Structure 1
């Protein structure tokens, strides 16, 4: 069992975790994390902790001089371009998708969950007393909590998950520390049963994604990396969102997602080299609802030419066995 501190406070926060050192297989690990928002953990340990790859929120993390992961949500974080102020805002709901990742680098599949106890005496305003002051959730799926054994998910050998952090501070005061003893425990148990309730976020699953550019060079499959996939449920491999990155000097001007009869179009001006996209109309630049051929014609996109007129690119189709695969593969 490994214990680490997490310091999450209103007006001054940090999230931390230290390393799991050892050799051989593990059956159960309880990894307690320290937050200053500061996390510490050796990325190469059997239960590896690191910043979430290709996520903007991984800028809150760094590897300290001891080789441990640190998550710093305060002005002391020199890696973040965000104006962090003096900590988490009071009187607010705050979400940080895809902050850090947990990897199973052992020899057995494990059930993973997080225990996080709130500091005694903290109470939200009565209108919000059914909310969780702090929650840890899967990737960018804010509906799928990882807190409590009942919410444990299976993490196969060699696989990783990213974890988001949510806070509710309605009625709290500056200086409040949110977690009891400034600790959380990350459990990885090969003997536990991951029989959590199936959570469906209600979105249509992605059938393909197209990465497009309006100027040379044309994006190709070998320069696109897709990671941190968010699934429709915690039971089936049906993607509804993902992080992406373009290697080399090839910015992406447009990403088109299609699922069922729905289309979501993301335009980037200027072109971007990384980001997160999902089947969510609130975030997309254009949403085409089922049967709206007029809007498809206006956007000049189709299954055969998903990037649209004036764009060229590469199309990845989803396969539950192979993941996102270039159309010609």
Structure 2
């Protein structure tokens, strides 16, 4: 009888230990898997940034103001200066406001709807202010307003315009800075 109790006790302890610690448990695993990541220029990336006169656009979708935007080393650059060979002028007029409609496009080539914002800073929300240079530069979606983000479905493109207000005492070059495009998924 004592032998049965001993065996029963050992069996119960073994079952309890297996339940507590599990069977086939592990502390670490190392497993190699394949990953493929490519980088792409702005014209073919998931967030597409494209001059509005780009050759990939159909003739009817092109805008002559796309000459103010260029792909330099694969990245979109806005150029309203004498260095831009695509235009014959040398810059923006002093003491004026210049409006260039449909300069570039932002396209969603990803897998879900995104909201596009242009920064620096939430306060500026699409308006870049350079007070030390007496220049106000606004980048806004065609048909939209400054400060409102733009939602793009998969495959959708949005044209953007540039508005620049320049004061009277601006020396060359008035702006040599960067802007940031932020695309954030609208649903997780």
Deviations 1:101-125 (A, max 9, x none): 111011110011212442353457x
Higher helix share: 2
Partner of 1:121: 132
Partner residue of 1:136 out of 126, 135, 139? 139
Measure the CA separation in 2 of the matches of 1:172 and 1:114. 27
Deviations 1:173-205 (A, max 9, x none): 2236347xx12111111148xxxxxxxxxxxxx
| Deviant stretches of 4+, over 4 Å | none
Which stretches in structure 2 are left out of the alignment for 5+ residues?
Answer: 1-36, 54-61, 121-127
Contact 2:133 / 2:170 at 8 angstroms: preserved in 1?
no
Aligned residues: 135
The 1:110/1:42 distance shift into structure 2, 3 A limit, reads same
Measure the CA separation in 1 of the matches of 2:152 and 2:92. 30
Partner residue of 1:55 out of 55, 63, 71? 63
Contact 2:113 / 2:186 at 8 angstroms: preserved in 1?
no
Q: Secondary structure at the match of 1:121?
A: helix
Deviation at 1:79, TM superposition (A): 2.5
Partner of 1:92: 96
1:44 matched to 2:41: no
Q: Which has the higher contact order (CA 8 A, sep 6+)?
A: 2
Partner of 1:145: 145
Task: Please tell me whether Structure 1 or Structure 2 has the larger radius of gyration of its CA atoms.
Answer: 2
Scaled by the length of structure 1, the TM-score of the pair is: 0.37
Measure the CA separation in 2 of the matches of 1:153 and 1:49. 14
CA RMSD of aligned residues (A): 2.6
Q: Secondary structure at the match of 1:44?
A: coil
Residue pairs, 1:1-329, within 5 angstroms: 42-53=42-53, 54-64=62-72, 66-80=73-87, 83-85=88-90, 87-116=91-120, 117-123=128-134, 133-139=136-142, 141=143, 144-146=144-146, 148=147, 151-175=148-172, 177-178=174-175, 182-191=177-186
Higher strand share: 1
